[in-house]
Structure 1
Amino acid sequence: MSDTGGRDHNEDAFFTGRVDGHHVFAVADGLGGHARGEVASRMAVEILAEVAGEDLPKTEPPRVLERAFERANAAIYAYNRENGLNAGTTLSAAIVAESGRCWIGTVGDSRTHIIAPSSVWHTHDQSYVQGLVASGAITPAEAMGHPGKNILIQALGLASRVQVDLDERDLAGGVLLLSSDGLHDYVPASTIQEIVLAGDPEAACRRLIDASRDAASTDNTTVIVARV
Protein backbone atom coordinates (compact mmCIF):
# COMPACT_ATOMS: atom_id res chain seq x y z
CA MET A 1 0.00 0.00 0.00
CA SER A 2 1.08 3.59 -0.62
CA ASP A 3 -0.28 6.78 0.91
CA THR A 4 0.41 10.44 0.13
CA GLY A 5 0.43 11.37 3.84
CA GLY A 6 0.68 15.11 4.31
CA ARG A 7 1.96 15.78 0.77
CA ASP A 8 0.16 17.05 -2.33
CA HIS A 9 1.39 14.13 -4.42
CA ASN A 10 3.14 10.80 -4.01
CA GLU A 11 6.83 10.51 -4.97
CA ASP A 12 7.13 6.89 -3.76
CA ALA A 13 7.14 3.90 -6.13
CA PHE A 14 7.15 0.17 -5.47
CA PHE A 15 7.41 -3.21 -7.20
CA THR A 16 6.34 -6.72 -6.26
CA GLY A 17 6.71 -9.67 -8.59
CA ARG A 18 7.84 -13.22 -9.18
CA VAL A 19 10.82 -13.65 -11.50
CA ASP A 20 12.21 -17.08 -12.47
CA GLY A 21 11.55 -18.76 -9.14
CA HIS A 22 12.38 -15.73 -7.01
CA HIS A 23 10.20 -13.12 -5.36
CA VAL A 24 11.33 -9.54 -6.01
CA PHE A 25 10.26 -6.57 -3.90
CA ALA A 26 11.29 -2.90 -3.96
CA VAL A 27 10.40 0.48 -2.47
CA ALA A 28 11.78 3.77 -3.80
CA ASP A 29 11.25 7.24 -2.33
CA GLY A 30 11.75 10.21 -4.66
CA LEU A 31 13.61 12.95 -2.84
CA GLY A 32 11.42 15.78 -1.62
CA GLY A 33 12.54 19.19 -2.81
CA HIS A 34 14.27 17.70 -5.85
CA ALA A 35 12.68 18.23 -9.25
CA ARG A 36 10.74 15.19 -10.51
CA GLY A 37 11.41 12.86 -7.60
CA GLU A 38 8.43 10.76 -8.73
CA VAL A 39 10.16 10.19 -12.09
CA ALA A 40 13.36 9.03 -10.39
CA SER A 41 11.57 6.59 -8.07
CA ARG A 42 9.54 5.12 -10.93
CA MET A 43 12.67 4.71 -13.06
CA ALA A 44 14.44 2.94 -10.20
CA VAL A 45 11.79 0.26 -9.66
CA GLU A 46 11.18 -0.24 -13.39
CA ILE A 47 14.89 -0.75 -14.08
CA LEU A 48 15.18 -3.12 -11.11
CA ALA A 49 12.32 -5.24 -12.49
CA GLU A 50 13.85 -5.16 -15.98
CA VAL A 51 17.32 -6.26 -14.80
CA ALA A 52 15.86 -9.01 -12.59
CA GLY A 53 13.87 -10.31 -15.55
CA GLU A 54 17.00 -10.35 -17.73
CA ASP A 55 19.49 -11.78 -15.23
CA LEU A 56 17.66 -14.22 -12.92
CA PRO A 57 18.37 -17.09 -12.50
CA LYS A 58 21.57 -17.20 -14.57
CA THR A 59 23.25 -14.53 -12.40
CA GLU A 60 23.68 -14.65 -8.62
CA PRO A 61 21.20 -12.34 -6.79
CA PRO A 62 23.86 -10.03 -5.25
CA ARG A 63 25.24 -9.26 -8.70
CA VAL A 64 21.71 -8.76 -10.06
CA LEU A 65 21.11 -6.16 -7.36
CA GLU A 66 24.41 -4.40 -8.00
CA ARG A 67 23.74 -4.27 -11.73
CA ALA A 68 20.19 -3.00 -11.23
CA PHE A 69 21.26 -0.22 -8.85
CA GLU A 70 24.15 0.80 -11.10
CA ARG A 71 21.92 0.90 -14.18
CA ALA A 72 19.20 2.85 -12.35
CA ASN A 73 21.73 5.36 -11.06
CA ALA A 74 23.21 5.85 -14.53
CA ALA A 75 19.78 6.28 -16.13
CA ILE A 76 18.55 8.84 -13.60
CA TYR A 77 21.87 10.70 -13.70
CA ALA A 78 21.66 10.88 -17.51
CA TYR A 79 18.04 12.07 -17.28
CA ASN A 80 19.14 14.86 -14.95
CA ARG A 81 21.97 15.97 -17.23
CA GLU A 82 19.70 15.98 -20.28
CA ASN A 83 16.98 18.01 -18.56
CA GLY A 84 18.96 20.24 -16.20
CA LEU A 85 17.36 18.62 -13.14
CA ASN A 86 18.49 17.03 -9.88
CA ALA A 87 15.95 14.23 -9.50
CA GLY A 88 16.99 11.60 -6.97
CA THR A 89 15.58 8.61 -5.17
CA THR A 90 16.25 6.02 -2.50
CA LEU A 91 15.84 2.33 -3.29
CA SER A 92 15.57 -0.72 -1.07
CA ALA A 93 15.15 -4.02 -2.92
CA ALA A 94 14.96 -7.67 -1.90
CA ILE A 95 15.29 -10.86 -3.94
CA VAL A 96 13.91 -13.87 -2.05
CA ALA A 97 14.40 -17.54 -2.99
CA GLU A 98 11.79 -20.20 -2.24
CA SER A 99 14.09 -21.44 0.52
CA GLY A 100 13.68 -18.12 2.34
CA ARG A 101 17.20 -16.91 1.52
CA CYS A 102 17.02 -13.17 1.01
CA TRP A 103 19.43 -10.82 -0.78
CA ILE A 104 18.93 -7.10 -0.15
CA GLY A 105 20.30 -3.93 -1.74
CA THR A 106 20.02 -0.44 -0.24
CA VAL A 107 20.72 3.12 -1.31
CA GLY A 108 19.36 5.89 0.91
CA ASP A 109 16.98 5.46 3.83
CA SER A 110 14.15 3.27 2.57
CA ARG A 111 14.38 0.05 4.56
CA THR A 112 13.97 -3.69 4.31
CA HIS A 113 13.06 -5.34 7.62
CA ILE A 114 12.90 -8.98 8.73
CA ILE A 115 10.48 -9.17 11.63
CA ALA A 116 10.17 -12.12 14.01
CA PRO A 117 8.54 -12.49 17.44
CA SER A 118 11.91 -12.15 19.18
CA SER A 119 13.68 -9.63 16.93
CA VAL A 120 13.47 -6.85 14.36
CA TRP A 121 16.34 -6.59 11.87
CA HIS A 122 16.53 -3.86 9.24
CA THR A 123 18.95 -2.48 6.71
CA HIS A 124 21.38 0.32 7.58
CA ASP A 125 20.20 3.76 6.45
CA GLN A 126 22.68 5.72 4.35
CA SER A 127 21.94 8.91 6.23
CA TYR A 128 23.56 11.52 8.45
CA VAL A 129 21.46 10.58 11.47
CA GLN A 130 22.20 6.85 11.10
CA GLY A 131 25.86 7.77 11.37
CA LEU A 132 25.13 9.49 14.68
CA VAL A 133 23.29 6.39 15.91
CA ALA A 134 26.12 4.10 14.82
CA SER A 135 28.67 6.25 16.68
CA GLY A 136 26.58 6.24 19.85
CA ALA A 137 26.03 10.01 19.74
CA ILE A 138 22.24 9.57 19.78
CA THR A 139 19.81 6.70 20.39
CA PRO A 140 17.44 5.23 17.77
CA ALA A 141 14.56 6.90 19.63
CA GLU A 142 16.31 10.28 19.44
CA ALA A 143 16.97 9.73 15.73
CA MET A 144 13.23 9.70 15.01
CA GLY A 145 12.90 13.32 16.16
CA HIS A 146 16.27 14.61 14.97
CA PRO A 147 16.06 17.70 12.70
CA GLY A 148 18.63 16.21 10.31
CA LYS A 149 16.91 12.86 9.83
CA ASN A 150 16.17 13.55 6.15
CA ILE A 151 19.81 14.23 5.20
CA LEU A 152 21.07 11.38 2.99
CA ILE A 153 24.67 10.54 2.21
CA GLN A 154 23.74 8.43 -0.83
CA ALA A 155 20.90 8.56 -3.38
CA LEU A 156 20.37 7.33 -6.92
CA GLY A 157 20.78 9.83 -9.72
CA LEU A 158 22.76 12.64 -8.07
CA ALA A 159 26.29 11.48 -8.93
CA SER A 160 27.89 9.32 -11.60
CA ARG A 161 28.70 6.60 -9.07
CA VAL A 162 26.79 5.27 -6.08
CA GLN A 163 27.61 2.98 -3.15
CA VAL A 164 25.17 0.07 -2.80
CA ASP A 165 24.95 -1.68 0.57
CA LEU A 166 24.32 -5.43 0.19
CA ASP A 167 22.98 -7.81 2.85
CA GLU A 168 22.20 -11.52 2.84
CA ARG A 169 19.75 -12.92 5.38
CA ASP A 170 17.53 -15.94 6.03
CA LEU A 171 13.87 -15.18 6.65
CA ALA A 172 13.66 -18.28 8.88
CA GLY A 173 9.95 -17.83 9.51
CA GLY A 174 10.17 -14.06 9.79
CA VAL A 175 8.03 -11.57 7.89
CA LEU A 176 9.52 -9.28 5.25
CA LEU A 177 8.65 -5.57 5.40
CA LEU A 178 9.88 -2.90 2.99
CA SER A 179 9.04 0.72 3.81
CA SER A 180 9.75 4.28 2.86
CA ASP A 181 10.73 6.62 5.69
CA GLY A 182 7.19 7.94 6.07
CA LEU A 183 6.68 4.83 8.20
CA HIS A 184 9.88 4.14 10.12
CA ASP A 185 10.76 7.79 10.77
CA TYR A 186 7.53 8.16 12.74
CA VAL A 187 6.36 4.75 14.01
CA PRO A 188 8.49 2.96 16.66
CA ALA A 189 9.98 -0.43 15.80
CA SER A 190 8.00 -2.11 18.58
CA THR A 191 4.72 -0.88 17.09
CA ILE A 192 5.77 -1.97 13.59
CA GLN A 193 6.68 -5.42 14.96
CA GLU A 194 3.35 -5.80 16.76
CA ILE A 195 1.33 -4.83 13.68
CA VAL A 196 3.25 -7.01 11.23
CA LEU A 197 3.01 -10.12 13.40
CA ALA A 198 -0.64 -9.65 14.37
CA GLY A 199 -2.37 -10.35 11.07
CA ASP A 200 -2.19 -11.22 7.41
CA PRO A 201 -0.09 -9.02 5.09
CA GLU A 202 -3.02 -7.04 3.69
CA ALA A 203 -4.34 -6.15 7.15
CA ALA A 204 -0.80 -5.32 8.29
CA CYS A 205 -0.34 -2.91 5.38
CA ARG A 206 -3.55 -1.08 6.25
CA ARG A 207 -2.65 -0.85 9.93
CA LEU A 208 0.89 0.37 9.18
CA ILE A 209 -0.46 3.18 7.00
CA ASP A 210 -2.94 4.06 9.75
CA ALA A 211 -0.14 4.05 12.35
CA SER A 212 1.89 6.42 10.18
CA ARG A 213 -1.07 8.80 9.93
CA ASP A 214 -1.73 8.55 13.69
CA ALA A 215 1.92 9.43 14.33
CA ALA A 216 1.43 12.64 12.31
CA SER A 217 3.72 11.57 9.49
CA THR A 218 4.09 14.43 7.01
CA ASP A 219 5.62 12.24 4.30
CA ASN A 220 4.52 9.77 1.65
CA THR A 221 4.36 6.28 3.15
CA THR A 222 4.76 3.02 1.23
CA VAL A 223 4.81 -0.46 2.76
CA ILE A 224 5.18 -3.98 1.40
CA VAL A 225 4.52 -6.89 3.78
CA ALA A 226 5.32 -10.41 2.60
CA ARG A 227 5.17 -13.85 4.17
CA VAL A 228 7.22 -16.09 1.88
Structure 2
Amino acid sequence: MHIFFQSDIGKKRKNNQDFANYFENNQGIPLAVLCDGMGGHKAGDIASEMAVSHLGDAWENSGLTDVDTIVEWIKEHINIENTRIVEKSTQYPDLEGMGTTLVAVALVENHFIVANVGDSRAYHFINGNLKQVTDDHSLVNELLKSGEITTEAAMNHPQKNILTRSLGVTKKVDVDIVTTSISTGNQLLLCSDGLTNMVNDKEIAKILTISSTSLKEKVSELVSLANANGGYDNVTVMLIEPNKGKEGKWICK
Protein backbone atom coordinates (compact mmCIF):
# COMPACT_ATOMS: atom_id res chain seq x y z
CA MET A 1 0.00 0.00 0.00
CA HIS A 2 1.58 3.25 -1.09
CA ILE A 3 -1.14 5.77 -0.22
CA PHE A 4 -2.78 5.71 3.18
CA PHE A 5 -4.73 8.29 5.15
CA GLN A 6 -6.60 8.59 8.42
CA SER A 7 -8.91 11.29 9.76
CA ASP A 8 -9.73 11.63 13.45
CA ILE A 9 -12.10 13.93 15.35
CA GLY A 10 -9.48 14.64 18.04
CA LYS A 11 -10.09 15.08 21.76
CA LYS A 12 -11.91 18.42 21.94
CA ARG A 13 -14.12 18.85 18.86
CA LYS A 14 -17.73 17.68 18.54
CA ASN A 15 -17.51 16.89 14.84
CA ASN A 16 -14.85 16.30 12.20
CA GLN A 17 -14.60 19.03 9.57
CA ASP A 18 -11.59 17.47 7.81
CA PHE A 19 -12.07 15.41 4.66
CA ALA A 20 -9.57 13.58 2.44
CA ASN A 21 -9.44 11.07 -0.39
CA TYR A 22 -7.42 10.10 -3.44
CA PHE A 23 -8.41 9.44 -7.04
CA GLU A 24 -7.01 8.30 -10.39
CA ASN A 25 -7.82 9.79 -13.78
CA ASN A 26 -8.45 7.58 -16.80
CA GLN A 27 -4.69 7.49 -17.50
CA GLY A 28 -3.95 6.10 -14.03
CA ILE A 29 -2.44 9.32 -12.66
CA PRO A 30 -3.23 9.78 -8.95
CA LEU A 31 -4.50 12.94 -7.27
CA ALA A 32 -4.68 13.14 -3.47
CA VAL A 33 -6.74 15.89 -1.82
CA LEU A 34 -7.04 16.94 1.83
CA CYS A 35 -9.27 19.72 3.18
CA ASP A 36 -9.88 21.27 6.61
CA GLY A 37 -13.32 22.88 6.72
CA MET A 38 -14.45 25.89 8.70
CA GLY A 39 -17.79 27.46 9.58
CA GLY A 40 -20.55 27.10 12.13
CA HIS A 41 -22.95 24.16 12.56
CA LYS A 42 -21.91 21.53 10.00
CA ALA A 43 -20.92 24.03 7.31
CA GLY A 44 -17.22 23.18 7.53
CA ASP A 45 -17.97 19.49 7.02
CA ILE A 46 -19.91 20.29 3.88
CA ALA A 47 -17.31 22.66 2.43
CA SER A 48 -14.43 20.22 2.86
CA GLU A 49 -16.35 17.25 1.51
CA MET A 50 -17.62 19.29 -1.46
CA ALA A 51 -14.11 20.39 -2.41
CA VAL A 52 -12.57 16.92 -2.18
CA SER A 53 -15.43 15.00 -3.80
CA HIS A 54 -16.13 17.37 -6.70
CA LEU A 55 -12.45 17.90 -7.48
CA GLY A 56 -11.90 14.13 -7.36
CA ASP A 57 -14.87 13.42 -9.62
CA ALA A 58 -13.62 15.91 -12.21
CA TRP A 59 -10.14 14.37 -12.04
CA GLU A 60 -11.48 10.84 -12.56
CA ASN A 61 -13.14 12.02 -15.77
CA SER A 62 -9.99 13.63 -17.12
CA GLY A 63 -7.22 12.10 -19.19
CA LEU A 64 -4.40 14.55 -18.61
CA THR A 65 -0.77 13.41 -18.58
CA ASP A 66 1.28 16.56 -19.24
CA VAL A 67 2.74 18.44 -16.26
CA ASP A 68 1.99 21.97 -17.49
CA THR A 69 -1.55 21.07 -18.52
CA ILE A 70 -2.22 19.42 -15.16
CA VAL A 71 -0.95 22.49 -13.29
CA GLU A 72 -3.43 24.69 -15.18
CA TRP A 73 -6.22 22.11 -14.68
CA ILE A 74 -5.63 22.08 -10.93
CA LYS A 75 -5.74 25.88 -10.67
CA GLU A 76 -8.88 26.08 -12.78
CA HIS A 77 -10.78 23.33 -10.98
CA ILE A 78 -9.88 24.49 -7.48
CA ASN A 79 -11.40 27.83 -8.50
CA ILE A 80 -14.49 26.02 -9.79
CA GLU A 81 -14.88 24.38 -6.37
CA ASN A 82 -14.27 27.72 -4.67
CA THR A 83 -17.10 29.26 -6.69
CA ARG A 84 -19.37 26.33 -5.88
CA ILE A 85 -18.76 26.77 -2.14
CA VAL A 86 -19.33 30.55 -2.31
CA GLU A 87 -22.61 30.03 -4.16
CA LYS A 88 -23.87 27.38 -1.72
CA SER A 89 -22.97 29.50 1.30
CA THR A 90 -24.99 32.43 -0.04
CA GLN A 91 -27.88 30.21 -1.13
CA TYR A 92 -28.46 28.51 2.23
CA PRO A 93 -28.47 30.53 5.49
CA ASP A 94 -27.20 27.61 7.59
CA LEU A 95 -24.13 27.34 5.35
CA GLU A 96 -23.24 31.04 5.54
CA GLY A 97 -19.55 31.58 6.18
CA MET A 98 -18.44 28.07 5.32
CA GLY A 99 -15.05 27.54 3.76
CA THR A 100 -12.11 25.18 3.67
CA THR A 101 -8.38 24.90 3.25
CA LEU A 102 -7.09 22.60 0.50
CA VAL A 103 -3.84 20.81 -0.18
CA ALA A 104 -3.54 18.42 -3.11
CA VAL A 105 -0.84 16.50 -4.92
CA ALA A 106 -0.70 14.82 -8.32
CA LEU A 107 2.04 12.34 -9.22
CA VAL A 108 3.08 12.98 -12.83
CA GLU A 109 6.06 11.36 -14.55
CA ASN A 110 8.89 12.00 -12.06
CA HIS A 111 7.27 14.93 -10.27
CA PHE A 112 4.95 15.74 -7.42
CA ILE A 113 2.68 18.67 -8.31
CA VAL A 114 1.54 20.20 -5.02
CA ALA A 115 -1.27 22.77 -4.75
CA ASN A 116 -2.44 24.57 -1.63
CA VAL A 117 -4.83 27.20 -0.32
CA GLY A 118 -4.83 27.85 3.44
CA ASP A 119 -2.72 26.26 6.16
CA SER A 120 -3.07 22.54 5.53
CA ARG A 121 0.42 21.41 4.61
CA ALA A 122 2.48 19.17 2.36
CA TYR A 123 5.89 17.93 3.47
CA HIS A 124 8.55 16.19 1.38
CA PHE A 125 10.52 13.58 3.34
CA ILE A 126 13.77 12.38 1.79
CA ASN A 127 17.00 10.98 3.24
CA GLY A 128 15.81 11.59 6.78
CA ASN A 129 15.02 15.26 6.14
CA LEU A 130 11.53 16.75 6.42
CA LYS A 131 10.90 19.82 4.27
CA GLN A 132 7.68 21.82 4.23
CA VAL A 133 6.68 22.22 0.57
CA THR A 134 3.66 24.50 1.03
CA ASP A 135 3.47 28.00 2.48
CA ASP A 136 0.83 28.66 5.16
CA HIS A 137 -1.70 31.31 4.12
CA SER A 138 -2.20 32.61 7.63
CA LEU A 139 -1.84 35.86 9.56
CA VAL A 140 0.77 34.33 11.86
CA ASN A 141 2.90 33.19 8.92
CA GLU A 142 2.77 36.69 7.45
CA LEU A 143 3.95 38.09 10.80
CA LEU A 144 6.69 35.44 10.93
CA LYS A 145 7.94 36.18 7.41
CA SER A 146 8.03 39.92 8.10
CA GLY A 147 10.09 39.33 11.25
CA GLU A 148 7.44 40.76 13.58
CA ILE A 149 7.31 37.55 15.64
CA THR A 150 9.67 34.64 16.28
CA THR A 151 9.14 30.98 15.41
CA GLU A 152 8.59 30.25 19.09
CA ALA A 153 5.95 33.01 19.37
CA ALA A 154 4.20 31.72 16.25
CA MET A 155 3.65 28.30 17.81
CA ASN A 156 1.31 29.67 20.49
CA HIS A 157 0.09 32.90 18.92
CA PRO A 158 -3.54 33.79 19.88
CA GLN A 159 -4.39 34.50 16.20
CA LYS A 160 -2.82 31.30 14.91
CA ASN A 161 -6.02 30.11 13.22
CA ILE A 162 -6.73 33.28 11.22
CA LEU A 163 -6.30 32.48 7.51
CA THR A 164 -5.38 34.97 4.81
CA ARG A 165 -6.57 32.66 2.03
CA SER A 166 -9.14 29.85 1.83
CA LEU A 167 -11.85 28.43 -0.41
CA GLY A 168 -15.31 29.95 0.04
CA VAL A 169 -14.41 33.55 0.91
CA THR A 170 -13.98 35.37 -2.42
CA LYS A 171 -15.17 34.64 -5.96
CA LYS A 172 -11.62 33.88 -7.11
CA VAL A 173 -8.82 32.31 -5.12
CA ASP A 174 -5.08 32.26 -5.77
CA VAL A 175 -3.64 28.75 -5.74
CA ASP A 176 0.01 28.13 -4.89
CA ILE A 177 1.65 25.44 -7.02
CA VAL A 178 5.00 23.80 -6.29
CA THR A 179 6.54 21.10 -8.48
CA THR A 180 9.21 18.90 -6.91
CA SER A 181 11.08 15.90 -8.29
CA ILE A 182 10.72 12.36 -6.97
CA SER A 183 13.57 10.14 -5.86
CA THR A 184 13.74 6.61 -4.50
CA GLY A 185 12.62 6.41 -0.88
CA ASN A 186 10.64 9.66 -0.97
CA GLN A 187 7.52 10.15 1.09
CA LEU A 188 5.03 12.99 0.75
CA LEU A 189 2.95 13.92 3.78
CA LEU A 190 -0.31 15.86 3.54
CA CYS A 191 -1.92 16.98 6.80
CA SER A 192 -4.35 19.35 8.44
CA ASP A 193 -3.13 21.72 11.15
CA GLY A 194 -4.52 19.33 13.74
CA LEU A 195 -1.25 17.47 13.27
CA THR A 196 1.23 20.34 12.94
CA ASN A 197 -0.19 22.29 15.89
CA MET A 198 0.29 19.24 18.13
CA VAL A 199 3.38 17.50 16.71
CA ASN A 200 6.58 19.31 15.75
CA ASP A 201 8.65 18.60 12.64
CA LYS A 202 11.33 16.65 14.53
CA GLU A 203 8.71 14.29 15.97
CA ILE A 204 7.13 13.83 12.54
CA ALA A 205 10.49 13.08 10.92
CA LYS A 206 11.36 10.57 13.64
CA ILE A 207 8.22 8.55 12.88
CA LEU A 208 8.68 8.74 9.10
CA THR A 209 12.31 7.58 9.42
CA ILE A 210 11.37 4.14 10.79
CA SER A 211 11.75 1.88 7.76
CA SER A 212 10.35 -1.22 9.45
CA THR A 213 6.82 0.20 9.78
CA SER A 214 4.19 0.46 7.06
CA LEU A 215 2.58 3.68 5.83
CA LYS A 216 -0.57 2.71 7.73
CA GLU A 217 1.39 2.32 10.97
CA LYS A 218 3.20 5.64 10.47
CA VAL A 219 -0.05 7.50 9.78
CA SER A 220 -1.73 5.91 12.78
CA GLU A 221 1.21 6.80 15.03
CA LEU A 222 1.15 10.44 13.89
CA VAL A 223 -2.59 10.71 14.59
CA SER A 224 -2.18 9.05 17.98
CA LEU A 225 0.68 11.40 18.91
CA ALA A 226 -1.39 14.47 17.97
CA ASN A 227 -4.15 13.23 20.28
CA ALA A 228 -1.71 12.34 23.04
CA ASN A 229 -0.29 15.87 22.88
CA GLY A 230 -3.73 17.41 23.40
CA GLY A 231 -5.83 16.63 20.33
CA TYR A 232 -7.31 20.14 20.29
CA ASP A 233 -8.43 19.87 16.66
CA ASN A 234 -9.46 17.33 14.06
CA VAL A 235 -6.36 15.66 12.66
CA THR A 236 -6.00 14.20 9.19
CA VAL A 237 -2.81 12.64 7.85
CA MET A 238 -2.15 11.25 4.37
CA LEU A 239 1.16 9.60 3.51
CA ILE A 240 2.27 8.86 -0.06
CA GLU A 241 5.21 6.72 -1.08
CA PRO A 242 5.65 6.21 -4.82
CA ASN A 243 7.40 3.26 -6.40
CA LYS A 244 8.45 2.44 -9.93
CA GLY A 245 6.28 0.16 -12.04
CA LYS A 246 7.35 -2.28 -14.74
CA GLU A 247 7.79 0.50 -17.30
CA GLY A 248 9.99 2.51 -14.95
CA LYS A 249 7.25 5.05 -14.25
CA TRP A 250 6.47 6.27 -10.74
CA ILE A 251 3.17 4.96 -9.43
CA CYS A 252 1.25 5.17 -6.16
CA LYS A 253 -0.64 1.88 -5.99
Structure 1 match to 2:76: 67
- Confirm or deny: 8 A CA contact 1:31 1:88 kept in the other structure: yes
Q: 1:200-215 alignment to 2 at 5 Å?
A: 200-215=214-229
Whether the aligned pair in 2 keeps the contact of 1:127 and 1:151 (CA below 8 Å) is yes
TM alignment of 1:127-166, pairs within 5 A? 127-166=138-177
Alpha carbons of 1:55 and 1:140: their partners in 2 closer, same or farther (altered >3 Å)? Answer: farther
> Alignment partner for residue 9 of structure 2, among 4, 7, 21?
4
1:47 Cα deviation after fit: 1.7
Q: What root-mean-square deviation, in Å, do the aligned CA atoms of Structure 1 and Structure 2 show? A: 1.6
Question: What residue identity is the alignment partner of 1:175?
Answer: Q
Distance across 2 between alignment mates of 1:141 and 1:181: 17
Unaligned runs of 5+ in 2: 1-5, 243-253
Decide which moves more: 101-110 or 138-147. Answer: 138-147
8 A contact 1:111–1:125 mirrored in 2? yes
Structure showing greater radius of gyration is 2
Any gaps of 5 or more consecutive residues in structure 1? Answer: none
- After TM superposition, give the deviation of residue 194 of structure 1 in Å: 1.1
Aligned positions of 1:56-135 closer than 5 A = 56-57=63-64, 60-84=69-93, 85-99=96-110, 101-116=111-126, 117-135=128-146
Task: Out of 52-61 and 196-205, give the one that drifted further.
Answer: 52-61
What is the letter of the counterpart of residue 127 of structure 1?
S
In the alignment, is the contact (CA less than 8 A) between 2:23 and 2:60 conserved in 1?
Answer: no
Q: Which residue of the partner structure matches residue 246 of structure 2?
A: none
Q: Which amino acid aligns with 2:169?
A: L
Deviates more, 1:188-197 or 1:53-62: 53-62
113-122 or 1-10, larger mean C-alpha shift:
113-122
**Distance 1:73-1:147 versus aligned 2 partners, 3 A rule:** same
| Matches for 1:172-183 after TM superposition, within 5 Å | 172=183, 173-183=185-195
Deviation at 1:13, TM superposition (A): 0.4
Report if the CA contact (8 A) 1:175-1:197 is conserved. Answer: no
Alpha-carbon distance between aligned partners in 1 of 2:58 and 2:151, rounded to the nearest angstrom? 35
Q: CA deviation at 1:126?
A: 0.5
* Number of residues of Structure 1 aligned to a counterpart in Structure 2: 227
Matched, 1:221 2:230: no
Residues 107-158 of structure 1 deviation map (CA, whole Å, 9 limit, x = unaligned): 1111111112134233001100111221223333432211111000111112
Percent of aligned pairs with the same residue?
31
Shift of 1:200: 1.9
In structure 2, the residue matched to 1:28 is: 35
The C-alpha deviation readout for 1:163-217, integer Å capped at 9, x for no partner, is 1111111132321100000001221011111112213210111110011012213
Residue 55 of structure 1: SS of its match in structure 2? Answer: coil
* C-alpha contact 2:190 2:239 (8 A) present in aligned 1: yes
1:23 maps to amino acid: P
What amino acid sits opposite 1:47 in the alignment?
Answer: H
Q: TM-score, normalised by structure 1?
A: 0.93
